[in-house]
C-alpha cells in the first residue's frame, strides 16, 4: 500500500496510527477527536511527522503547501480509506458499514 504524500518535491511517508494520534494530542492538549477542518489538517500533519524521523517539514510550510494544493486532503483521505478497507478485510469484514440502510426512494417531504 502506497502511504506516501509528496509535498514541496519531497516524499513523506504517512503513518495514521497511534503515534500520529499521540502527536496530535500533545499538539492540541486535548483527547484525540477530529471535530473541525483545523483538526483534520493537524492530523494530516501529525501523520506525516509520525511517518518520518526528521522534523524538517514545519507546520507553517505545510499549511502554505495545503493552501496552494487543496487536493492534498483528498489524497490523505484516500490513504485513510485504503487503511480502513485493508483492516476490515483482514478482520473478515465485507467492507460495508454495519447498521446503515440505503434509501430506495425519495422521502415524501423531499423538496
Q: Model confidence over 7-65: pLDDT tens digits? A: 999 999 999 999 999 999 999 999 999 999 999 999 999 999 999 987 689 999 999 99
Question: Does residue 99 have a pLDDT over 80?
Answer: no
89: exposed, middle or buried (C-beta count within 10 Å: 0-12, 13-18, 19+)? exposed
Write out pLDDT tens, residues 56-98: 899 999 999 999 999 999 999 999 998 888 878 888 765 555 5
pTM recorded for the entire structure: 0.76
Q: What is the three-class DSSP state of 56?
A: coil
| H runs (alpha helix) in the chain | 18-28, 37-51, 59-68, 72-90
Instruction: Please tell me the predicted confidence (pLDDT) of residue 53.
Output: 81
Amino acid at each position: 500500500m502506497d502511504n506516501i504524500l509528496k509535498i514541496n518535491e519531497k516524499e513523506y511517508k504517512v503513518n495514521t496510527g497511534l503515534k500520529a494520534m499521540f502527536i496530535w494530542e500533545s499538539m492540541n492538549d486535548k483527547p484525540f477527536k477530529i471535530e473541525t477542518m483545523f483538526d483534520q489538517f493537524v492530523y494530516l500533519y501529525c501523520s506525516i511527522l509520525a511517518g518520518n524521523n526528521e522534523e524538517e517539514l514545519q507546520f507553517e510550510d505545510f499549511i502554505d503547501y495545503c493552501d496552494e494544493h487543496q487536493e492534498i486532503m483528498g489524497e490523505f483521505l484516500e490513504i485513510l480509506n485504503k487503511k480502513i478497507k485493508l483492516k476490515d478485510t483482514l478482520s473478515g469484514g465485507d467492507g460495508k458499514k454495519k447498521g446503515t440502510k440505503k434509501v430506495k426512494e425519495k422521502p415524501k417531504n423531499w423538496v
